[in-house]
Amino acid sequence: MKLSLCTITFRHQLISFADIVRFAHRHHFDGIELWGIHAQDLYDHDRIEMEEQLGILRDQGMSISMLSDYLDIATSSGFHRTLEKAKRLISLAKWLNVKQIRTFAGQKASNEVGSEERARYVHHLYILCQMCQEHGIQLLVETHPNTLTDHMSSTLALLQEVNHPALKINLDFLHVWESGADPIDSYEQLKPWVAHYHLKNISSSNHLPVFAPHNVYAPNGDREGMVPLGEGVVDYGPILEKIADTDYFGSIEWFGQNPKLVLAEEVEWLRKGMLLVRK
């Protein structure tokens, strides 16, 4: 498994992409997961500098692991805006030489989505997958609460319903655990579609609301319960045994305080854990 950091970790800090590249190289990351908003801003305002940094990134053996954003598949009359956004993301992905774009499968819990509404989601995902495939890009839906991938049964059904080779899974082990499913069993069931991992942890299920998007993106949002991978309720030991030797990226998704310190410790912890698995 290759390891990447997420630029969303630095969403509330004034830090340049060049500084992030230097930090990632110094701490032996393999790549950087780039938030779509960050990618667009760099393209619009710092394109020349960004291209220089991309060259440095490649020279140091790193890459942009994934472009992460949100494509609205629920809308009906406004789906043309989703298609326009998808086109922009695909253009950015090609500029960055990225082969994966991450989105969510809607913004409602799967048990709240009726059959007609679900059929619309599926149809829209299929169209987006077709667009991505034409450019050699995979579209990843993340296992996440309040989406069609919030439970294993709905996730597996969605993959069969869309039935497109470009549709893959960004497997967030914490959110799978949050749904009540076993992370290892879920990984085995989703293995044919898994193409990326999100790695994070929590001290207690009581604190899971801290990962709600509205809280995560708020500068003064609650961060209580966010803990390093080795200190939370999800046991990453058995997970590493399964994924350490896979070819995909695992992004350390840290939303808490002291990002540089925590990321440096996390990547070292993961490297040591993967070494132990291989012995």
Residue 164 CB-half CA count within 13 A = 24
> Which residues carry out catalysis?
144
Q: What is the CA radius of gyration of the chain?
A: 18
Quick check: 171 and 124 in contact, CB under 8 A?
no
| 3-state DSSP of the chain | CEEEEEHHHHCCCCCCHHHHHHHHHHCCCCEEEEEHHHHHHHHHHCHHHHHHHHHHHHHCCCEEEEEECCCCCCCCCCHHHHHHHHHHHHHHHHHHCCCEEEECCCCCCHHHCCHHHHHHHHHHHHHHHHHHHCCCCEEEEECCCCCCCCCHHHHHHHHHHHCCCCEEEEEEHHHHHHCCCCHHHHHHHHCCCEEEEEECEECCHHHHHHHCHHHHCCCCCCCCCEECHHHCCCCHHHHHHHHCCCCCEEEECCCCCCHHHHHHHHHHHHHHHHHHHHC
